Amino acid sequence: MSVSAFPTSHRSSVISTLRAAGCVFAEDEADLILSTARTPAEMTAMVERRAAGLPLEHVLGWAEFRGLRISVDPGVFVPRRRTEFLVGRAAGLAGRAAVVVDLCCGSGALGAALAAALDQVELYAADIDPAAVRCARRNVADAGGEVYEGDLYDPLPDTLRGRVDILLANVPYVPSEEVGLLPAEARVHEARVALDGGADGLDVLRRVTAEAPAWLAPGGHLLFETSEGQVAAAVDAVERAGLVARVVSDEERYATVVVGTMLIGTVADSAVSGLTDSADSGLTDSAGSEPDLP
């Protein structure tokens, strides 16, 4: 139903309930709930769940990500808007008919959004969480994507080795001892495996970077998000794997992305302009250098 399909009194009541529950953007959330609910009973149930602390995206059943409605089931990691920056960088690096892998895919938002931005893509995704895999299969269906359940690279077809042009890895990077400090919406309602990155937050990332060269095509790129405080260690992990690291950031969205590129001799060097400088030299790019994307 649309917002206008409900009496004005319904909207006022929903806003009041959400405000009382501490929802900062009560008006916007009320409109989203009213436009999603199909019946008054469903609306009431949705408002009750939101007021009880369930993330809005889990209440609605979807999250907006780069203009797409991404299906998000309860318990599945909600795609963050800052991660749109990572997808934008990937779209700028991908060539025609790119082979893309979305590792630690969660809902599949990154792979689905990248596929939507490109003319042609061969898309694969994987996650260890069965609930996330079920969700991702719905979200990448339009792109003809394949989703596998398992630990990191383990479930992927061996035929992908050495063929991956874009490797998206939305790995968990919150240090274990800091998970308890996260907002309740994440800490209580999202799978811990999607948040907890180990002692320093980089345990999963190190496993991803160590194996990435076996999967990347010459000139292929690994992209992942991290925090500013983890950049040096993340870059070290990339370079230890034999990839060339570059750090890019978007201050407006508080997003920090590391790009690791598989360079093979002078051919690959010339094919990937600007990625040959080590991050140890302090090279970083701002969002302003991102090309116009679809």
Q: What is the CATH number of the domain that holds 218?
A: 3.40.50.150
Residue 75 falls inside a structural domain: no
**Mean predicted confidence (pLDDT) in 92-119:** 96
Count of CB atoms situated within 10 Å of the CB of 197: 23
Answer yes or no: do 171 and 46 share one domain: no
The stretches of the chain forming alpha helices (DSSP H) are: 8-20, 26-36, 40-51, 56-60, 84-93, 109-117, 130-139, 184-187, 203-215, 231-240, 265-271
**Mean predicted confidence (pLDDT) in 168-176:** 95
Answer yes or no: do 88 and 37 share one domain: no
Judged against a pLDDT cut of 70, whether residue 248 lies above it is answered with yes
Which among 52, 73, 89 is the end of a domain?
Answer: 52
Do 66 and 265 form a contact (C-beta atoms < 8 A)?
no
Judged against a pLDDT cut of 50, whether residue 213 lies above it is answered with yes
Residue 76 falls inside a structural domain: no
Do 241 and 192 form a contact (C-beta atoms < 8 A)?
no
Residue 270 falls inside a structural domain: yes
User: How high is the pLDDT of residue 264?
Assistant: 74
φ/ψ of residue 202, rounded to 5: -120, 10
Answer yes or no: do 175 and 126 share one domain: yes
Q: Alpha-carbon distance 137 to 112, whole Å?
A: 10
Cα-to-chain-centroid distance, residue 202: 16
Residue 71 falls inside a structural domain: no
Indicate the Cα dihedral angle 47, 50, 54, 57, nearest 10°: 90
Percent of the chain at pLDDT above 70? 87
Joined together, the tokens standing for residue 256 give 């920090």
User: How high is the pLDDT of residue 276?
Assistant: 36
Residue 57 falls inside a structural domain: no
**Mean predicted confidence (pLDDT) in 238-250:** 96
What's the pTM?
0.85
Answer yes or no: do 213 and 151 share one domain: yes
Do 140 and 123 form a contact (C-beta atoms < 8 A)?
yes
Q: Which residues have a Cβ under 8 Å from the Cβ of 70 and sit 6 or more positions away? A: 62, 63, 64, 79, 107, 108, 109, 112, 113, 139
Query: pLDDT (tens digit, 9 = 90+) per residue, 26-73?
Result: 999 999 999 999 999 999 999 999 999 999 999 999 999 999 999 999
Q: How confident is the model at residue 96 (pLDDT cuts 50, 70, 90)?
A: confident
User: How high is the pLDDT of residue 82?
Assistant: 95
Mean pLDDT, the chain, whole residue set: 89
What is the number of structural domains in the chain? 2
Percent of the chain at pLDDT above 90? 82
Answer yes or no: do 35 and 119 share one domain: no
Residue 65 falls inside a structural domain: no
Answer yes or no: do 245 and 192 share one domain: yes
**Element holding 216 (H helix, E strand):** strand 216-226
User: How high is the pLDDT of residue 4?
Assistant: 55
Q: How confident is the model at residue 136 (pLDDT cuts 50, 70, 90)?
A: very high
Q: How confident is the model at residue 103 (pLDDT cuts 50, 70, 90)?
A: very high
Answer yes or no: do 221 and 284 share one domain: yes
Q: How confident is the model at residue 265 (pLDDT cuts 50, 70, 90)?
A: low
Residue 59 falls inside a structural domain: no
User: How high is the pLDDT of residue 177?
Assistant: 94
Containing structural domain, residue 100: 81-289
Residue 166 falls inside a structural domain: yes
Range with lowest mean pLDDT among 27-31, 55-59, 94-98, 279-283? 279-283
Answer yes or no: do 130 and 14 share one domain: no
Do 155 and 148 form a contact (C-beta atoms < 8 A)?
yes
Q: Alpha-carbon distance 141 to 39, whole Å?
A: 28
Query: pLDDT (tens digit, 9 = 90+) per residue, 191-211?
Result: 999 999 999 999 999 999 999
Answer yes or no: do 45 and 131 share one domain: no
Answer yes or no: do 45 and 85 share one domain: no
Answer yes or no: do 265 and 123 share one domain: yes
Answer yes or no: do 30 and 92 share one domain: no
